């Protein structure tokens, strides 16, 4: 990882919002991520945030209203992009829910898409960058996300037992092997072997999870159009966790809320407090 460049810096709530670019060995391209560095001295606990379809490293930092509470709690926030960009793969920019901006936080096995390795980027390369360049306590990390990023937060944690202290998600794609978004993405990135798809499905992973006990907080809006379109399927995750005493899921259906960042803004403080408790020691 040769290049690591600060692109911008703005003071906020006593800390700093900073954007960085680096050359990714895992993805074979330049990647950007945003971070909030709280005013409290290090080493700090870190919360990784994974955004949803079409998003970039900017969405959460700019729209979630999380910075004031993160500053109060002393949480360092790290917000990566949602896919590699500019790889020159035919078709990478043709669809909003596949290719650019839609990496699905997996490691693709289909030959054409093998540079789409967001899972390895999020769980290996990015944490190493954070440990190298920021005053963090590597033993105190948690993960959260929205929609496709909620899927990613669950998959990254459940496939790496002990790496994260807690998991939370807003409207996660909970059972992608059974929803249109997931079937499209998994067919493209992973091919037709549906047995292999289960390795990237939060509900399938939750059912067989054998790692250290971990708590999961999920908020889902009752008026989320994607919920009604059967893209999210939180009931599948609830059923899977019910059979596994190593996972403690709190699934909250929030009446009247949709899939937007207005929903996230309303409940983000509670998610940050949830993670701060898990990261407190």
pLDDT digit string, tens, across residues 87-142: 999 999 999 999 999 999 999 999 999 999 999 999 999 999 999 999 999 899 99
Burial of 160 (0-12, 13-18, 19+ CB in 10 A): middle
Mean pLDDT, residues 5-14: 98
Measured CA to CA, the distance from residue 135 to residue 138 in angstroms comes to 9
- What is the overall mean pLDDT for the chain? 97
Q: Is 168 a catalytic residue?
A: no
Is residue 1 pLDDT above 50, yes or no?
no
Domains of the chain from N-terminus onward: 4-278 (3.40.50.1820)
Q: What pLDDT does 2 receive? A: 56
Measured CA to CA, the distance from residue 223 to residue 243 in angstroms comes to 28
Mean pLDDT, residues 152-173: 98
Catalytic residue among 34, 142, 144, 147: 147
Confidence category of residue 198, pLDDT binned at 50, 70, 90: very high
Share of the chain above pLDDT 70, in %: 99
β strands within 82-201, DSSP E: 136-146, 166-170
Mean pLDDT, residues 13-33: 97
Catalytic residue among 22, 259, 271, 275: 259
Nearest partner of 233 among 187, 162, 185, 182, judged by Cα: 182
> Cβ contacts of residue 146 below 8 Å, gap of 6+?
50, 51, 52, 55, 60, 169, 170, 171, 172, 264
Share of the chain above pLDDT 90, in %: 97
Mean pLDDT, residues 246-275: 98
The token duo for 36 is 């909030």
Mean pLDDT, residues 14-39: 97
Mean pLDDT, residues 2-11: 92
Half-sphere exposure of 89 (CA within 13 A, CB side): 24
Residue range 41-99, pLDDT digits in tens: 889 999 999 999 999 999 999 999 999 999 999 999 999 999 999 999 999 999 999 99
pTM to 2 decimals?
Answer: 0.97
Can you tell me whether residue 237 is helix, strand or coil? helix
Q: Is 219 a catalytic residue?
A: no
The token duo for 216 is 């999961």
Confidence category of residue 281, pLDDT binned at 50, 70, 90: confident
Measured CA to CA, the distance from residue 268 to residue 272 in angstroms comes to 6
Q: What pLDDT does 37 receive? A: 97
Catalytic residue among 144, 219, 224, 275: 224
Mean pLDDT, residues 227-246: 97
Q: Is 97 a catalytic residue?
A: no
Residue range 206-233, pLDDT digits in tens: 999 999 999 999 999 999 999 999 999 9
Q: What pLDDT does 261 receive? A: 98
């Amino acid at each position: 990882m040769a290049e690591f460049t600060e692109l911008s810096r703005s003071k906020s709530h006593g800390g700093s919002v900073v954007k960085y670019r680096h050359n990714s060995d895992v993805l074979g391209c330049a990647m950007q991520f945003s971070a909030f560095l709280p005013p409290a001295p290090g080493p700090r606990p870190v919360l990784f945030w994974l955004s949803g379809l079409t998003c970039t490293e900017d969405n959460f930092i700019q729209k979630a209203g999380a910075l004031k509470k993160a500053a109060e709690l002393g949480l360092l926030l790290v917000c990566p992009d949602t896919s590699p960009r500019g790889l020159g793969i035919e078709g990478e920019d043709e669809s909003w829910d596949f290719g650019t901006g839609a990496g699905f936080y997996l490691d693709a096995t289909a030959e054409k898409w093998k540079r789409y390795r967001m899972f390895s980027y999020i769980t290996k390369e990015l944490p190493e960058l954070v440990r190298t360049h920021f005053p963090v306590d590597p033993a105190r990390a948690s993960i959260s996300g929205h929609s496709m990023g909620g899927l990613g937060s669950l998959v990254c944690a459940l496939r790496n037992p002990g790496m994260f202290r807690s998991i939370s998600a807003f409207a996660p794609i909970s059972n992608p092997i059974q929803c249109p978004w997931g079937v499209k993405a998994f067919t493209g990135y992973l091919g037709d072997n549906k047995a292999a798809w289960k390795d990237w499905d939060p509900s399938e992973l939750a059912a067989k999870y054998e790692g250290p006990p971990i708590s999961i907080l999920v908020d889902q809006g009752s008026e989320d159009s994607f919920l009604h379109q059967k893209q999210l399927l939180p009931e599948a995750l609830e059923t899977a966790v019910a059979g596994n005493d190593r996972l403690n899921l709190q699934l909250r259906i929030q009446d009247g809320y949709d899939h937007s960042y207005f929903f996230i803004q309303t409940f983000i403080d509670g998610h940050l407090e949830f993670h701060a408790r898990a990261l407190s020691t």
